[in-house]
Amino acid sequence: MRIRQIITSQKGLSGTDVITAVCLACNLTREQVFCRMDSEIDEERLRVVRGYLDERLAGKPLAYITGVREFFSESFSVNEAVLIPRPETEVLVEVALDLIGDRKGLTVLDVGCGSGAIGIIVAKHTDSRVFSVDISEAALAVAHTNAVSLGVHEKMRFVCGDLLGAFGDGTRFDMIVANPPYVAADEWDDLMVDVREYEPRGALDGGEGGLDIYRRLVGQVPGHLVRGGHVLLEIGSFRQACDVGAMLEAAGFRVGVRKDYSGRERVLAGHG
């Protein structure tokens, strides 16, 4: 079967999904696929392509099928132990990079690091020392692999623990960043099947109002942030901007809000 026939005959999936499956099975770039539309695919590779497409039709996210997700123009390895990095989280990274600027030797903590995307980009683009903490050892293994592949593992330390409980009372950071679970429990059943059935629930489900982790984290932050430091939190709604912003203000922070490129409140920046 020719590549063109595979792409045009597949129903129920986007062309992007089908082309990606062909790229992966045949070890081709997208450009090569478009240049070889009339090339024949042997039976063995065709079986592989169909296997990928069947997984995608069942709802499995494309990133878990390919094992790769692009974030901040870098390729990150992902599997079902970690949340797939989202484009909107790039806004959180942009805010962090803007605040760090050209300052040297800062310490940054990425809480609930998952694939490590946030902390790794900060380490790659600044002179900061980055600590990444996650309660999942499997997630930390993915994050460490990504740090090695992107050449920043020597600037990073990976710690297994629950939020800031892994650090002693005297441990303080110049910046704390986090993309906590913020899906409200009563919204869980409304999520798309590829999210609800495949991505780790612990990285998404924030309990009542999506605020459970924020309450715990904001309560811990003042004891682990240097005077004048920043805490950056990704949020999922205007309601959460209000609720979590109030938590930060009650903890003594001046709070600003950054919207994402769709105009939705996305990042709260607290200044101590």
Please provide residue 100's backbone torsions phi and psi, each rounded to the nearest 5 degrees: -70, -40
Q: What angle do helix axes 117-125 and 89-100 make, rounded to 10 degrees? A: 30
CA–CA separation, 171 vs 225, rounded Å? 8
Q: How would you classify the pairing of strands 127-134 and 156-160?
A: parallel
pLDDT band at 183 (very low <50, low <70, confident <90, very high): very high
Distances (CA, A) of 4 to 1, 19, 31, 57, 75: 8, 10, 14, 19, 27
Contact present, 223 and 169 (Cβ < 8 Å): yes
Give me the pLDDT at residue 30, please. Answer: 87
Burial 142-180 (b: 16+ CB within 10 A, else e): bbbbbbeebebbebbebeeeebbebbeeeebbbbbbbbb
Would you call 269 helix, strand, or coil by DSSP?
Answer: strand
Give me the pLDDT at residue 25, please. Answer: 87
Q: How would you classify the pairing of strands 74-77 and 68-71?
A: antiparallel
> Which residue do the tokens 């800062």 mark?
106
CA–CA separation, 137 vs 127, rounded Å? 26
Give me the pLDDT at residue 204, please. Answer: 94
Contact present, 78 and 84 (Cβ < 8 Å): yes
Torsion of CA 162, 167, 170, 176, to 10 degrees: -70
When pLDDT is averaged across residues 110-123 and rounded to a whole number, the result is: 98
CB atoms within 10 A of CB 245: 19
pLDDT tens for residues 128-178?
999 999 999 999 999 999 999 999 999 999 999 999 999 988 899 999 999
Q: In whole numbers, what is the pLDDT of the chain averaged over residues?
A: 94
For residue 106, the surrounding DSSP H or E stretch is: strand 104-111
Q: Which amino acid is at 42?
A: D
Helices (H), the chain: 3-9, 15-26, 30-35, 43-57, 62-66, 89-100, 117-125, 137-149, 193-196, 212-220, 238-250
Does residue 16 surpass a pLDDT of 90? no
Does residue 12 surpass a pLDDT of 90? no
pLDDT tens for residues 198-249?
999 999 999 999 999 999 999 999 999 999 999 999 999 999 999 999 999 9
Our separate counts of H helices and E strands in the chain read 11, 9
When pLDDT is averaged across residues 181-206 and rounded to a whole number, the result is: 92
pLDDT tens for residues 157-169?
999 999 999 998 8
Residue 254, strand partner residues: 271
Please provide residue 178's backbone torsions phi and psi, each rounded to the nearest 5 degrees: -160, 140
Return the domain boundaries, the chain.
Answer: 3-58, 79-271
CATH 3.90.1310.10 fits 79-271, yes or no: no
CA–CA separation, 234 vs 240, rounded Å? 10
